[in-house]
Amino acid sequence: MKYLIGGFVVLVLVLALAGVVYQAIATARDLEKYSPPGKLVDVGGYQLHLNCQGEGSPTVVMDYGLGGMSLVWSWIQPEIASLTRVCTYDRAGYGWSDPSPHPRTSQQMVQELYGLLKNSGIEAPYLLVGHSLGGLNLRLFASQYPNEVAGLILVDAVPANVYSRLPAFQKSMANTQRLFSTLSVISRIGLLRLLIQLRGTEVAPDFVKQLPLEIQPIILAKFLPQTFDTAIAENQLMATSAEQVSQTELPNDLPLVVLSHGVNMFDDLPQEQAKQAELTWQELQAEIANLSSNSDLKIAEQSGHNIHIDQPQLVVNTIRQAIDRFRQT
């Protein structure tokens, strides 16, 4: 019996090793197949990927949510590039960017983004557009560099006080953490890569399926252990990030637009809890809008949390209006 168990253990180890090798080979192949659309810029011993398109001022700078990458703005960036310069980037550990040796807090991510822009010669003024965690980051950016910010557009951004006001959010993030932990393991041994190879975009998350067809395989190729480990690290410190932001203030007259989803994103909860959680989220979004006397709150009636994917034209129009207002002042 012990020989049978021993043989089974050896078989499992051999298969796991084969999976690791397969993952490494496939990753190397994808690096050759999918080159970065932008450039890699040193920010202090590691490189971040920055993709700027178009010309003009202000420069639109976009940041995405937990577990994403720069390509999630693929419906938005080309349209804005016809109006002005627009830059997307991969936070450290995502997309084509190197991992960072520093804790993944909003403060650290803002510091890296600011260094990335300056080291690339991308000067202010910046019109900041941030989704979810990216919105939390760019809210902090706007508070720390107010003289360099032309405006702030928050796309269903994580509120700074969400952990104290909305327990359902914390529960949702705990579930997300377990998902990323599982994906980290199965991606390491090549199982996720094999599944994607066999089934393609059939196994992709809904938000990936809604992006341009030519973008979908690139995002799936970036479903790497490093990606999930980065998401885990950011999620672990999101409460710290929220606390960092809560201790700052936006300029009272900062041009601010808050976009909030219209389709309940807490539908995994019992009906009454989901209804209450949604009401609280909308209250928090309204409170963010009240942080500036020069603000506007819009509800994306047809969107869940990913407004920039569900209703990209709404985001494009909002950015266009912000650019026009800036140029008229």
Q: DSSP strand E in 68-196: where?
A: 86-90, 126-131, 149-155
From the CB of residue 56, how many other CB atoms can be counted at a distance below 10 Å? 15
Q: Is residue 258 part of a domain?
A: yes
Residues ≥6 apart with Cβ < 8 Å to 67: 176, 180, 227, 228, 231
Q: Is residue 6 part of a domain?
A: no
Mean pLDDT of 14-31: 47
**Mean pLDDT, rounded, of the chain:** 92
Please, which pLDDT band fits residue 30 given cuts at 50, 70 and 90?
Answer: low
pLDDT tens column, 305-327: 999 999 999 999 999 999 999 99
DSSP category for residue 159: P
Question: Above 90 in pLDDT, residue 18?
Answer: no
Q: Is residue 9 part of a domain?
A: no
Q: Is residue 74 part of a domain?
A: yes
pLDDT, position 32:
61
Rounded Cα distance, 82 and 46, in Å? 31
Q: Give the number of domains in the chain.
A: 1
Asked whether 135 and 288 are in contact (CB, 8 A), the reply is no
In degrees to the nearest 10, what's the CA dihedral of 105, 298, 173, 292? Answer: 40
**Mutual orientation of helices 167-188 and 191-199 as an angle, nearest 10°?**
90
Residue with tokens 């830059």: 87
**What is the secondary structure of 246-288 as a DSSP string?**
HT----TT--EEEEEESS-S-TTS-HHHHHHHHHHHHHHHHHH
pLDDT tens column, 65-103: 999 999 999 999 999 999 999 999 999 999 999 999 999
Asked whether 155 and 308 are in contact (CB, 8 A), the reply is yes
Mean pLDDT of 247-265: 97
Residues ≥6 apart with Cβ < 8 Å to 169: 162, 163, 277, 281
**If you count them, how many residues does the chain have?**
329
CA-wise closest residue to 282 among 139, 121, 103, 162: 162
The residue segments making up the domain with residue 107 are 34-328
pLDDT tens column, 207-216: 999 999 999 9
What CATH number corresponds to the domain at position 263? 3.40.50.1820
Mean pLDDT of 249-262: 98
Q: Is residue 8 part of a domain?
A: no
Question: Above 80 in pLDDT, residue 149?
Answer: yes
Q: Is residue 64 part of a domain?
A: yes
Asked whether 188 and 228 are in contact (CB, 8 A), the reply is no
Question: Above 90 in pLDDT, residue 1?
Answer: no
Q: Is residue 83 part of a domain?
A: yes
Rounded Cα distance, 76 and 271, in Å? 34
Q: Is residue 229 part of a domain?
A: yes
pLDDT tens column, 266-300: 988 899 999 999 999 999 999 999 999 999 999 99
Rounded Cα distance, 256 and 289, in Å? 7
Asked whether 135 and 63 are in contact (CB, 8 A), the reply is yes
